Structure 1
């Protein structure tokens, strides 16, 4: 059965080679959690903001002024409020920005870099990668990379696919374009190396999750069933618990927010209170995703840790059963 034939066949009829091939295509490799953080910090905090703005409706061909205005709020109000808050806490962050969003708001994109933050690739117009052919996907990511480089004067080192939509060709495109890291997958709490069909790629993954994203809690669709279902302060409690667990384990607390979502007054309150909570721990390293990826990638030069439950390798051959006492 070819890769194309199986799509019209129920999954319970797939031979093992098909379902195993899908599972193994993009997989977790070595864990890349450093043994220590810079300046003796106990945990790392990686804040990120997806500055989608008007690209969400534009992606779907929606040109309603009402929908575009909802996205414009992120540029007009949300982004500035976020930047002022980050400055107050001295916290660098990563802003993943669709290229069309940067073209609409070039001064905003440049301000991110000017104020010490990172700008990462987030697609061309927040397209859905799984609906694209491999060539179109690569063309759009390359165009986005070049556009952000031209506008900000900095070449992005990381990518977050729009909507965390990862197609069968996304990984190869990311590798071909030389990105240091990706932040679109959800296979761990901590950074790890991505495997392609069992082969180590050297690509660092900074994993995300819907739990640590503001959109699922607060997004509103006027004509659909999508309605905000969680009080902002309940979300604050979830995020505090996520940070506290990362802190206890000496790991990473990664958060994904959107200026047009979190930037509203009643929601910005919980981001401020979250940063107050994190700031109450003196030994925390605030890092951009690029900084975190570089710290994680250093682990690739270290000997791989043995798999749990296996004995470390030695130069002495194992004793045969007849030679054991």
Structure 2
């Protein structure tokens, strides 16, 4: 039986977060997250029992699905390079949220991200929810993910984000691993916060699905101008709030989604608006986590 209201907090900071100053007295910290999931999706052609159902054309087929397979391939064949070059042009460092299997299969892309100065964080072993996953299986998947990313990047990941739902054990297992600085398995705030996991104080950097290019799939041909306007509106509003309280904006990107040529102008507009404003600290999630820890207790691990 699932415990009622397990690990839920409806009130958070109650409107009074800590008085944290971002570097340069910026009113807002902005985190671009590039999700690297390609080759870690489920595919019957790769020996799995099912295909990934979420892709450009939402039409399921029985058996091998070359359509979904090739939509994922687009992300690494074309989207990666287009997106990475765009971030470089604007001097933006992102967090590349990487599935362990993707790091194992395509280590040259991880190496490319490291060479460009991006953070490599962990996004599960497969591109899958952990809801209902047995604790021992999940512990093994966390370990495999850390090992694969460490091998490809030359440094272990310090951040974690599960696709969609976690299990009720995920955060405890991350803390038991001992090497994670933060997780992003939350969608419940616009500012980092600490939570207790046993006797351990654990940092959470909330993520967001609205300021996320997944909306191109979820909103019936949501176009680039819509996406840019929405993200820019979110940025401008949080800058207003950030003048009196710390605020953080997460912008989620996917190689096979934003990496399409008809959508890249939206990302370019977002990057130009944010960087030209000079009102944001645009950085990796690791840097945000380390700053938050240092500002709240004077020490970072």
With structure 1 as the length reference, what TM-score do the two structures score? 0.78
Which residue in 2 is equivalent to 1:49? 34
Distance between the aligned counterparts of 1:263 and 1:174, measured in 2?
A: 31
Tell me what 1:172 maps to: 172
Structure 1: stretches of 5+ with no match in the other structure? 8-17, 220-225, 303-325
Q: Is the 8 Å Cα contact of residues 27 and 195 (structure 1) preserved in structure 2? A: no
Q: What is the correspondence of 1:265-284 to structure 2 with a 5 Å cutoff?
A: 265-284=261-280
Q: CA deviation at 1:264?
A: 0.4
Hey, which of these two has a bigger chunk of helix by percent? 1
What's the offset of the Cα at 1:277? 0.8
- Give the CA deviation at 1:24: 4.2
Q: CA deviation at 1:246?
A: 1.6
Q: Which residue of 1 aligns with 2:50?
A: 61
In the TM superposition, what is the alpha-carbon distance from 1:232 to its structure 2 partner?
Answer: 2.1
Instruction: From the superposition, tell whether residues 25 and 145 of structure 1 become closer, same or farther in structure 2 (CA, over 3 Å).
Output: farther
Corresponding residue number in structure 2 for 1:218: 216
- Residues 274/102 of structure 1: CA separation in 2 closer, same or farther (3 Å cut): same
What is the Cα deviation at residue 176 of structure 1?
A: 0.8
Query: Deviation of residue 39 (structure 1)?
Result: 2.6
Which residue pairs with 2:131 in the alignment?
130
SS in 2 for 1:129: coil
Equivalent residues of 2:34, 2:255 under 8 A apart:
yes
Change (3 A) 1:162 1:230: same
Distance 1:244 1:195 in 2: 32
**Distance of aligned partners of 1:274 and 1:24 in 2 relative to their CA distance in 1, 3 Å threshold:** closer
Q: CA 1:279/1:72 → structure 2, altered by over 3 Å: closer, same or farther? A: same
Structure 1 140/271 Cα, relative in aligned 2: closer, same or farther at 3 Å?
Answer: same
Moved over 6 A (4+): 29-32
Q: 1:88 to 1:139 in 2, by over 3 A?
A: same
Residue in structure 1 matched with residue 235 of structure 2 by the alignment: 243
Task: Report the equivalent of 1:254.
Answer: 250
Unaligned runs of 5+ in 2: 52-63
Partner Cα distance (1:161, 1:33) in 2: 27
Deviation at residue 98 of structure 1 after TM alignment: 0.7
Provide the rounded CA distance (Å) in 2 between the counterparts of 1:295 and 1:147.
27
For the aligned residue pairs, the C-alpha RMSD in angstroms reads: 2.4
Counting matched residue pairs gives 276
| 1:284-305 Cα distance to aligned partner (Å, 9 max, x none) | 2111000001111124317xxx
